[in-house]
């Protein structure tokens, strides 16, 4: 770490973590000194996704109250379902009115970069203090064209393998494999014992996109190159589709219709032995399925033939609209919420559901408190942005929202298309989007 030592971080965060445990606000608020002159009479509206885990909302609110106490700026939080954020923030961008700050997903800021406040000062401060942002975080916040930060990266609700340990052992595996070949062998052995795996192939924004992109990139395939030229129809993509088809054969029937909630339901009902998901399955089992809970384990998503992680996770960043009357207050709010005394209790409270965008927070004690939480610490390492290897923006967002890659995998796995045909169809659709 450059500007902050591990010991200092632990000291700073311990107080916050204790505060979270005690259900009180962070102690940092008392000593907080704003970096920018906050506008007189400022108040803010934040549009935020409803937490995937209840402790997330609770601690975020406590941190916000601490900000109000430290600065006098009142913040109203509007919670909406995470899939509705894009529509609501888009509407605000269009009409020039609405929340001051939005916590969005993926490359949303790049759909209307001109409407957003330059937050370079906040990001530069944070990356200097907390050991920098992960590469994927930077790609979701830093606009290469203008060389400015248009959003403050917050973090990613990461996806890892969640599996039943006893069933995996019965199938002859002591731990979950670390590469694609091993995962397929394990999945086949589990299926043979009547314990199929389950991965979403319907229009599941988070879960389907996560695993299919990981497999695509794991074989070296990508939808476009660095110049946004469509290159999906490649030998690497065909290999990825062949692999996915083999994996699909080991899955429970019906994953072709799965949306984001289905794999959680099937896992907790004991119908599948493994899936790729956020820590929510483990967390919910801890609270509501005490018999199943001791048997649930998590592991990093295996690595493909390219030899390094190729994760694709949901990612949230926060941006400020230019129509806000209080841009300095908004910037201060985002800075405050990303400081260690706030981040520590937030991440601790939600047992690492969101992996922070700043690298220094990989040293938070929560990550090593339980071996099932640890894999989520590193989900942003080797995480590519949507539209990889092209630049973020409207074309990448459209391709993601049209489920081009998910449909290509579903086409080859569940609807009988050959890998070549599925890739060709995806290529045609991508060309329509990128050449428009």
Partner 1 sequence: MSDTAPVSPGPQARPSGSWLRRAFDRPNVLGPLLAAPAALILLLLLAYPLVLGIWLSLSNAVLGGTPKFVGLANYIQLFHDSTYREAVFYSFFYTICSEGLKLSLGLGLALLLNRRFRGYRLARAIMLLPWVAPTVLSALAWGWLLNPQFSAISWLLMKLGLIHQYIDFLGQIWPARISLIVINMWRGIPYFAMGYLAGLTAIPASLIEAAQIDGAGSWTIFRRITWPLLLPVTTILLSFSTIWTVTDFQLIWTMTRGGPLNATQVFTTLAYQRAINGGSLGQGAAIAISVIPIMLILAIVALRTTREGK
Stretch of 120-128, 129-137, 260-268, 347-355 contacting partner 1, by CB under 8 A: 260-268
User: Quick one: 156 or 202, whose CB is closer to partner 1?
Assistant: 202
Nearer to partner 1, 372 or 398 (CB): 398
50 touching partner 1, by CB under 8 A: no
Residues 247, 199 contacting (CB under 8 angstroms): yes
Examine residue 269 and tell whether it contacts partner 1 (CB under 8 A): yes
Bridge partners (DSSP) listed for residue 162: 275, 298
Residue 254 interacts with partner 1 (CB under 8 A): yes or no: yes
d(CA 268, CA 419): 32
Q: Please tell me whether residue 249 binds partner 1 under the rule CB under 8 A.
A: no
Cα separation values, 386 from 164, 242, 392, Å: 30, 22, 7
Contacts of 7 (CB under 8 A, 6+ apart): none
How does DSSP assign 27-67, residue by residue? Answer: GGGGG---SS-PPTT-EEEEEEEPPSSHHHHHHHHHHHHHH
- What distance in Å separates the CA atoms of residue 275 and residue 176, rounded to the nearest whole number? 12
Q: How far is the CB of 230 from partner 1 (least distance, A)?
A: 14
**Using the rule CB under 8 A, which residue among 410, 419, 423, 434 binds partner 1?**
410
Nearest distance from C-beta of residue 304 to partner 1, angstroms? 24
Give the nearest distance from C-beta 7 to partner 1 in angstroms. 45
Is the CB of residue 62 less than 8 Å from the CB of residue 345? Answer: yes
What is the nearest approach in angstroms of partner 1 to the Cβ of residue 425? Answer: 8
Contact between residue 189 and residue 172 where contact means Cβ atoms under 8 Å apart? yes
In the complex, least distance from residue 271 CB atom to partner 1, rounded to whole angstroms: 5
Under rule CB under 8 A, residue 224 binds partner 1: no
3-class DSSP state of 280: helix
Would you state the structure tokens that stand for residue 40, as one six-digit string?
């007189």
Residue 264 in the binding site for partner 1 (CB under 8 A)? no
Identity of the residue, 71 or 398, whose beta carbon is nearer to partner 1 in the bound complex? 398
Q: Is 251 an interacting residue with respect to partner 1 (CB under 8 A)?
A: no
Choices 54-62, 153-161, 225-233, 262-270; region in contact with partner 1 by CB under 8 A: 262-270
**Residue with Cβ nearer partner 1 (248 or 282):** 248
Token look-up 């539209």 returns 387
DSSP string of 375-401, one letter each residue: HHHTTTTTBPPTTTTS--SHHHHHHHH
The answer to whether 226 contacts partner 1 (rule: CB under 8 A) is no
Does position 420 interact with partner 1 (CB under 8 A)? The reply is no
Q: Kindly provide the residue ranges of all beta strands, DSSP E only, lying in 289-410, ordered along the sequence.
A: 296-299, 316-320, 354-356
User: Is residue 60 close enough to count as binding partner 1 by CB under 8 A?
Assistant: no
Q: What letter would DSSP give residue 325?
A: S
Residue selected from 90, 182, 220, 305 as contacting partner 1 according to rule CB under 8 A: 90
User: Which positions touch partner 1 (CB under 8 A)?
Assistant: 86-87, 90-91, 93-94, 111-112, 114-115, 201-203, 252-259, 262, 265-266, 269, 271, 394, 397-398, 401-403, 407, 410-411, 414-415, 425, 428-429, 432, 436
């Amino acid at each position: 770490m450059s500007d902050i030592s591990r010991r200092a971080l632990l000291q700073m965060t311990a107080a916050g973590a204790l505060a979270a445990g005690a259900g009180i606000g962070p102690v940092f608020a008392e000593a907080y000194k704003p970096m920018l002159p906050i506008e007189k009479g400022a108040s803010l509206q934040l549009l935020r996704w409803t937490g995937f885990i209840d402790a997330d909302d609770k601690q975020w609110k406590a941190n916000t109250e601490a900000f109000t106490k430290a600065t006098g700026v009142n913040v109203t939080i509007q919670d909406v379902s995470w899939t509705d954020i894009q529509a609501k923030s888009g509407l605000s961008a269009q009409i020039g009115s609405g929340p001051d700050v939005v916590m969005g997903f993926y490359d949303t800021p790049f759909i209307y970069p001109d409407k957003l406040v330059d937050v370079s000062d906040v990001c530069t401060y944070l990356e200097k203090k907390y050991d920098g942002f992960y590469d994927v975080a930077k790609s979701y916040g830093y606009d290469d064209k203008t060389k400015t930060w248009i959003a403050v990266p917050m973090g990613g609700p990461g996806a890892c393998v969640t599996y039943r340990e006893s069933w995996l052992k019965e199938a002859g595996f002591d731990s979950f494999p670390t590469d694609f070949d091993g995962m397929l062998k394990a999945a086949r052995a589990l299926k043979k014992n009547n314990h199929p795996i389950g991965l979403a192939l319907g229009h599941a924004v988070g879960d389907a996109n996560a695993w299919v992109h990981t497999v695509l990139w794991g074989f070296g395939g990508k939808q476009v190159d660095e110049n946004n030229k469509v290159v999906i129809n490649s030998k690497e993509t065909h290999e990825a589709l062949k692999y996915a088809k083999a994996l699909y054969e080991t899955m429970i029937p019906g994953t072709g219709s799965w949306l984001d909630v289905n794999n959680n339901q099937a896992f907790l009902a004991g119908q599948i032995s493994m899936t790729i998901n956020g820590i929510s399955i483990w967390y919910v089992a801890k609270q509501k399925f005490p018999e199943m809970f001791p048997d649930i384990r998590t592991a990093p998503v295996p690595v493909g033939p390219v030899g390094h992680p190729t994760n694709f996770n949901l990612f949230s960043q926060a941006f400020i609209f230019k129509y806000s009357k209080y841009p300095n207050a908004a910037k201060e709010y985002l800075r405050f919420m990303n400081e260690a005394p706030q981040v520590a209790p937030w991440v601790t409270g939600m047992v690492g559901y969101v992996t922070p965008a700043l690298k220094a927070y990989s040293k938070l004690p929560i990550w090593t408190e339980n071996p099932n939480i640890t894999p989520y610490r590193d989900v942003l390492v080797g995480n590519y942005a949507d539209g990889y290897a092209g630049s973020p923006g409207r074309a990448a967002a459209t391709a993601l929202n049209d489920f081009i890659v998910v449909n290509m995998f579903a086409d080859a796995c569940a609807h009988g298309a050959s890998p070549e045909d599925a890739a060709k169809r995806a290529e045609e659709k991508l060309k329509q989007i990128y050449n428009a």
